[in-house]
Amino acid sequence: MKFAYRYGMFLIAMVIFAIAVTVFSTGVGAQDEGWQIVRADYGFRSQRNDVTDILKDLIGRGGVNGRVAVNNQTMGGDPAVGKDKTLRIFARNKRGEEREFNFNEGGFVEVRLFNIRRDDWDDRPANYGGRDQEDWNGLRIIRAYYG
Protein backbone atom coordinates (compact mmCIF):
# COMPACT_ATOMS: atom_id res chain seq x y z
CA MET A 1 0.00 0.00 0.00
CA LYS A 2 2.80 2.41 0.83
CA PHE A 3 4.49 1.67 -2.49
CA ALA A 4 1.32 2.42 -4.46
CA TYR A 5 0.77 5.66 -2.52
CA ARG A 6 4.34 6.83 -3.15
CA TYR A 7 4.14 5.85 -6.79
CA GLY A 8 0.88 7.80 -7.16
CA MET A 9 2.35 10.88 -5.49
CA PHE A 10 5.40 10.63 -7.75
CA LEU A 11 3.17 10.53 -10.84
CA ILE A 12 1.16 13.53 -9.64
CA ALA A 13 4.36 15.48 -8.98
CA MET A 14 5.66 14.64 -12.47
CA VAL A 15 2.40 15.80 -14.09
CA ILE A 16 2.50 19.09 -12.16
CA PHE A 17 6.15 19.56 -13.14
CA ALA A 18 5.36 18.88 -16.82
CA ILE A 19 2.50 21.39 -16.77
CA ALA A 20 4.71 24.02 -15.12
CA VAL A 21 7.47 23.50 -17.69
CA THR A 22 4.97 23.84 -20.52
CA VAL A 23 3.39 27.00 -19.15
CA PHE A 24 6.63 28.79 -18.29
CA SER A 25 8.50 27.81 -21.45
CA THR A 26 5.69 29.34 -23.53
CA GLY A 27 6.25 32.70 -21.82
CA VAL A 28 9.97 32.61 -22.47
CA GLY A 29 9.37 31.68 -26.09
CA ALA A 30 6.94 34.54 -26.50
CA GLN A 31 9.59 37.00 -25.36
CA ASP A 32 11.89 35.79 -28.11
CA GLU A 33 9.11 36.24 -30.65
CA GLY A 34 8.79 39.97 -29.96
CA TRP A 35 9.29 42.62 -32.58
CA GLN A 36 12.35 44.88 -32.81
CA ILE A 37 11.41 48.49 -33.62
CA VAL A 38 13.14 49.70 -36.77
CA ARG A 39 11.39 53.05 -37.18
CA ALA A 40 8.33 54.86 -35.83
CA ASP A 41 6.54 58.03 -36.85
CA TYR A 42 3.51 59.93 -35.54
CA GLY A 43 1.22 62.27 -37.41
CA PHE A 44 -1.32 62.69 -40.18
CA ARG A 45 -0.62 61.85 -43.84
CA SER A 46 2.59 63.71 -44.79
CA GLN A 47 2.78 65.74 -41.55
CA ARG A 48 4.71 63.23 -39.46
CA ASN A 49 7.42 63.35 -36.79
CA ASP A 50 10.04 60.66 -36.27
CA VAL A 51 9.36 59.27 -32.78
CA THR A 52 11.61 56.19 -32.91
CA ASP A 53 13.83 57.19 -29.98
CA ILE A 54 10.93 58.47 -27.87
CA LEU A 55 8.96 55.27 -28.39
CA LYS A 56 11.94 53.00 -27.68
CA ASP A 57 12.55 54.87 -24.44
CA LEU A 58 8.90 54.65 -23.34
CA ILE A 59 8.68 50.95 -24.19
CA GLY A 60 12.06 50.27 -22.57
CA ARG A 61 10.75 51.78 -19.33
CA GLY A 62 7.71 49.50 -19.44
CA GLY A 63 5.09 52.18 -20.01
CA VAL A 64 2.29 52.62 -17.49
CA ASN A 65 0.77 49.27 -16.53
CA GLY A 66 2.47 47.70 -19.54
CA ARG A 67 1.02 50.15 -22.04
CA VAL A 68 2.19 53.35 -23.74
CA ALA A 69 -0.45 55.97 -24.50
CA VAL A 70 -0.55 57.34 -28.04
CA ASN A 71 -1.15 61.08 -27.74
CA ASN A 72 0.54 64.42 -28.38
CA GLN A 73 2.15 64.50 -24.93
CA THR A 74 3.83 61.09 -25.11
CA MET A 75 4.83 61.43 -28.78
CA GLY A 76 6.63 64.75 -28.34
CA GLY A 77 4.17 67.26 -29.77
CA ASP A 78 1.36 67.80 -32.24
CA PRO A 79 2.59 67.52 -35.84
CA ALA A 80 -0.88 68.13 -37.35
CA VAL A 81 -3.13 70.34 -35.23
CA GLY A 82 -6.79 69.36 -35.34
CA LYS A 83 -6.22 66.12 -37.27
CA ASP A 84 -6.69 62.51 -36.14
CA LYS A 85 -3.15 61.21 -35.94
CA THR A 86 -1.71 57.69 -36.06
CA LEU A 87 1.44 56.11 -34.74
CA ARG A 88 3.12 53.86 -37.31
CA ILE A 89 5.70 51.39 -36.02
CA PHE A 90 7.86 49.54 -38.52
CA ALA A 91 9.31 46.44 -36.85
CA ARG A 92 11.24 43.26 -37.63
CA ASN A 93 11.22 39.92 -35.83
CA LYS A 94 14.03 37.37 -35.40
CA ARG A 95 13.08 35.61 -38.62
CA GLY A 96 13.63 38.83 -40.57
CA GLU A 97 9.93 39.37 -41.27
CA GLU A 98 8.87 43.01 -41.34
CA ARG A 99 5.53 44.37 -40.19
CA GLU A 100 3.83 47.74 -39.78
CA PHE A 101 1.80 48.36 -36.61
CA ASN A 102 -0.74 51.21 -36.60
CA PHE A 103 -2.18 52.80 -33.46
CA ASN A 104 -4.72 55.63 -33.49
CA GLU A 105 -4.38 58.73 -31.34
CA GLY A 106 -5.96 58.00 -27.96
CA GLY A 107 -5.06 54.32 -28.16
CA PHE A 108 -2.37 52.32 -26.41
CA VAL A 109 0.69 50.31 -27.46
CA GLU A 110 1.16 47.03 -25.58
CA VAL A 111 4.77 47.00 -24.36
CA ARG A 112 5.00 43.20 -24.43
CA LEU A 113 4.75 43.18 -28.25
CA PHE A 114 8.18 44.77 -28.64
CA ASN A 115 11.72 43.93 -27.54
CA ILE A 116 14.04 46.82 -26.77
CA ARG A 117 17.74 46.09 -26.45
CA ARG A 118 19.54 48.28 -23.94
CA ASP A 119 22.09 49.37 -26.55
CA ASP A 120 19.24 50.72 -28.74
CA TRP A 121 18.24 53.40 -26.24
CA ASP A 122 20.42 56.12 -27.76
CA ASP A 123 23.22 56.82 -30.22
CA ARG A 124 26.11 56.54 -27.78
CA PRO A 125 28.19 53.43 -27.22
CA ALA A 126 27.37 51.35 -24.16
CA ASN A 127 30.15 52.86 -22.01
CA TYR A 128 30.43 56.18 -23.88
CA GLY A 129 33.53 54.90 -25.66
CA GLY A 130 35.39 54.43 -22.37
CA ARG A 131 35.70 58.20 -21.95
CA ASP A 132 34.82 58.05 -18.30
CA GLN A 133 37.68 55.63 -17.63
CA GLU A 134 40.59 57.66 -18.96
CA ASP A 135 41.65 61.17 -19.83
CA TRP A 136 39.84 61.40 -23.11
CA ASN A 137 41.28 64.04 -25.40
CA GLY A 138 43.44 65.38 -22.57
CA LEU A 139 40.62 67.44 -21.02
CA ARG A 140 40.10 67.41 -17.28
CA ILE A 141 37.53 69.66 -15.60
CA ILE A 142 38.81 70.89 -12.26
CA ARG A 143 35.92 73.15 -11.24
CA ALA A 144 32.71 74.35 -12.87
CA TYR A 145 30.06 76.90 -11.98
CA TYR A 146 26.58 77.25 -13.35
CA GLY A 147 24.12 80.11 -12.95
pLDDT in tens, 80-117: 999 999 999 999 998 889 999 999 999 999 999 998 87
128 found inside a domain: no
pLDDT range class, residue 13, cuts 50, 70, 90 = confident
65 found inside a domain: yes
134 found inside a domain: no
143 found inside a domain: no
Within this chain, do residues 17 and 42 fall inside the same structural domain, yes or no? no
Within this chain, do residues 49 and 83 fall inside the same structural domain, yes or no? yes
Q: Which residues have C-beta within 8 Å of that of residue 120, sequence separation ≥ 6?
A: 37, 56, 60
pLDDT single digits (tens) 37-79:
999 999 999 999 999 999 999 998 888 999 999 999 999 999 9
Helix extents (H) in the chain: 2-32, 52-60
Range of the domain at 66: 35-122
pLDDT range class, residue 29, cuts 50, 70, 90 = very low
